Amino acid sequence: MDLETGTKINVTTGENFYDGVSWSPDSTALVVSRNPHPEVMRRVGFDGSVTDISIEKTAKSPDISPDGQYIAFWSIDDEGNGDIWKISTDGGMPAVRLTSHPTADVWPAWSPDGQWIAFTSRRDGSLGGDIWKMPASGGQAQRLTSTKSARRPRWCEGGESLVFQTDADDGHPPHIWSISASGGSPNQITEGRGESEPDCLANQLIYAQQEEGGQAIVSQDLTTGEVSGLTSDQASARHPRWSADGSRISFISNKEGASEVYALSLPGGSPIRITDDGGQKSAPSWSPDGASFLYSVQLGRQEIWHFPVP
């Protein structure tokens, strides 16, 4: 698994896998949640090592802590209730339950300093979900939003704020908000034209936006509010993600027919297709060092592929 060869690698070894995958902070390994063995997560090292982490429960949406020591995930118990858990990356520490509530707590996300875990919860009567956070060591959870349709929080650089998407409801399309990590009133960032899948880096936000004839990738300066279209080919572009240094973004598009992953250099670059295997793509993600990339693809079974980016 040599990052210098330029060879695409299937890290899922022929099994069905969930699209839950997380990079180690040093970009040398991945953790993926397994299917049909959801009670085991797998650490795949690019030195050829493979380590199964037995957790004796279903694991979804793994997220490795910034120091690489722990994995946060959510799990469904026998009553169908979802809660947030964590386990040591080497499996040496038993899984610890961080939340316990009769409604679903899902999609954990570590803060950049590793002190907090944000998540989506339906507690307090929220039908679609709200954003909460809790100490990574465990303790009282704090509600950050009251939209009742928020999901998939993403921390912005520095950990002072988060962005999230609200789902369509009552005829209103989805749109994107930000919220201070300490709480307060959320700030509606977008106009509600069907914006989704936000990702932020410093004061720059990218997201997918519905437009006539398709869906485009858009960037927005969170300081000035200035909006710039990054794609304009009347294709269905989705899942935008920043590279770690902010010099490139990736996204999935059907501009050439099949669903493929593209990279775009900023500012002013043109999209370059970086996959050609067909199949429905999801979960694109840059390595923390920006040197490689992974994505999930449905090719009869769900696979996760990794490759160096030129």
- Round the average pLDDT of the chain to a whole number and report it: 84
Q: Tell me, what's the pLDDT at 113?
A: 95
Residue given tokens 């909460």 in the structure block? 132
* Whole-number Å distance between alpha carbons of 167 and 169: 6
CA-nearest of 277, 278, 304 to 293 is 304
Highest-pLDDT range among 117-121, 202-206, 269-273, 306-310: 117-121
Which amino acid type is present at position 91? G
Q: Which residues, at least 6 apart from 110, have a Cβ–Cβ distance to it below 8 Å?
A: 63, 64, 65, 66, 72, 116, 117, 136, 155
pLDDT at 206 over 90: yes
Q: Per-residue pLDDT tens for 86-103?
A: 999 887 788 899 998 888
CA dist list (Å): 122 to 127, 132, 198: 6, 10, 21
CB 71 within 8 A of CB 92: no
DSSP classification of residue 167 = P
Q: Which of 3-12, 57-66, 76-85, 252-261 has the lowest mean pLDDT?
A: 3-12
CA-nearest of 56, 59, 67 to 94 is 56
> Taking the CA of residue 172 as centre, how many other CA atoms within 13 Å lie in the half-sphere pointing to its CB?
12
Q: Which of 38-47, 68-77, 163-172 has the lowest mean pLDDT?
A: 163-172
Token code pair at residue 147: 């939209």
Beta partners for residue 237, in sequence order: 253
CB 270 within 8 A of CB 264: yes
> Can you tell me whether residue 156 is helix, strand or coil?
coil
* Whole-number Å distance between alpha carbons of 161 and 146: 16
> For the chain, which domains are there?
1-16+197-310 (2.120.10.30), 55-188 (2.120.10.30)
pTM beyond 0.85: the answer is yes
CA-nearest of 258, 227, 245, 240 to 287 is 245
Q: Does a cis peptide bond (omega within 30 degrees of 0) precede residue 36?
A: yes
* Whole-number Å distance between alpha carbons of 139 and 228: 41
pLDDT at 66 over 90: yes
* Whole-number Å distance between alpha carbons of 95 and 138: 13
Q: Tell me, what's the pLDDT at 223?
A: 86
Q: Tell me, what's the pLDDT at 233?
A: 72
